[in-house]
Structure 1
C-alpha cells in the first residue's frame, strides 16, 4: 500500500464534504439538511459540496487529500489562525458557540479544523500521515504550534493526538445539537506547541 498526499482540487469538494461529515460523526449533514441552500438539492451532502466550493478558509482551498491504492483514504482541512483573537458573533447558533469560543483561543496556531479518514483506511497510518502534513504546514506558516477541537468521549482520536504531542488547554460544555445523540459532555481544545 502506498499512501500519498496532495493539495485538494476544486473537483474534490464532494469527497471533502463527505469526510467532513465523517469527521463529526454525521452531524454536519444534519445541519446541512436544515440549511437554506438545501431546498432543491435533495441531499444534505450536496449542500456540503456547495459549502466546500466556496472561496473561504473552510473549503477545498484549505484541504489536503490522502490517497491510497487509487482512492481517497482521508483528508485534512486546516489553516493558520490570525495572531489576534477574533470575536465570536453574538448571533452564532448555540451548539456552535462553545466550539467557536475554543477555536478563537487558538489564535496564532495552525488549526486542524477537520481530519477525516474513511473507515476502511483507519488504523493504517492515514491519520498519522495527515498529522505529519499538519506539522509541515505549521512550520511553513510560522504558526505558534497547532490546535484542534475534539469531543471528550472520542477516546481513539484523543489518544492519537496525545501520542502526537497534543494536550488539553481548555474545554467548554457541549450544547446539544437538535436531534443528535451526544457522545460526550465537553469539547476539548488540544494544543501542540
Structure 2
C-alpha cells in the first residue's frame, strides 16, 4: 500500500496515465493560488488516505502504481459546478456503476517490460472479486493504443464511448473508451 511519503514518486506516474490531460485538468481544478502540482499532490494524497493506491516497490523505488476502488452504485454524472472536461468521463462512470474501477495504472519508464503492470492488474482483479463486484472497469483514451491492446489481451472489451471535451487541452484524442471485464 502506498503511503503519503510516496506522493512525490507517484505524481509523475499519475501524470503519465493520460499525458497532458492530467496536468491540464489539475490546473483547471486547482483552487485559488494553488499550483497544478499541489492540486495533484492533494488528489493523490486523498487516494492514498482512502487506501486506494498500491505501488510496486523495486529496490526501494516505486516502479509502478495502481489506483482502484469500488465504483458507486449510483454515480452522479451531472454535478453542479463540475468542470466540463469531466462530463464525458462521468457519463462513462455512470455506465460502470457497481463495478470495481481501475482509476489509474502506470509504470515508470525505467521499469517497463518487467511485468509490473500485469501484476498490478492481477491485484486489481483480485480486489474486485474479493469485493464481490460483477466486473472491473476502466476508462482509456483512444490515443493510447498500447494500453488498449494490453487491456484487450487481458479480456477487456470496449462497452461505451464518449467524445473528448478539450477545453484548450491540445490533443489528437477524439474519444474516451469504457472497457470492462467480467469477474467470475
Q: Same fold (TM over 0.5)?
A: yes
- Backbone CA RMSD of aligned residues: 1.9
2:40 to 45, 48, 60: 48
SS for the counterpart of 2:180 is strand
Which consecutive residues of structure 2, in runs of 5 or more, have no partner in the other structure?
none
SS for the counterpart of 2:38 is helix
Match of 2:21 in 1: 27
SS for the counterpart of 1:123 is coil
How much has 1:81 moved relative to structure 2? 1.1
1:186 to 172, 175, 179: 175
How much has 1:126 moved relative to structure 2? 1.3
SS for the counterpart of 2:31 is helix
Q: Distance in 2 between matches of 1:73 and 1:171?
A: 31
Contact preservation (8 Å) 1:18, 1:45 = no
SS for the counterpart of 2:155 is coil
1:98-113 matches, cutoff 5 A: 98-113=88-103
Q: Distance in 1 between matches of 2:29 and 2:84?
A: 15
1:172 to 162, 171, 175: 162
Q: How many residues align?
A: 181
Query: Residue deviations 1:24-44, cap 9 Å, x none?
Result: 2132223323444362x6x53
2:85 to 86, 95, 105: 95
Q: Distance in 2 between matches of 1:89 and 1:64?
A: 29
Q: Distance in 2 between matches of 1:35 and 1:111?
A: 22
SS for the counterpart of 1:82 is coil
**Alignment partner of 1:13 is 2:7:** yes
SS for the counterpart of 1:99 is helix
Contact preservation (8 Å) 2:2, 2:48 = no
Which consecutive residues of structure 1, in runs of 5 or more, have no partner in the other structure?
1-6
Query: Residue deviations 1:143-180, cap 9 Å, x none?
Result: 111000011221100000000110000001111142x2
Contact preservation (8 Å) 1:85, 1:104 = yes
Q: Distance in 2 between matches of 1:38 and 1:51?
A: 16
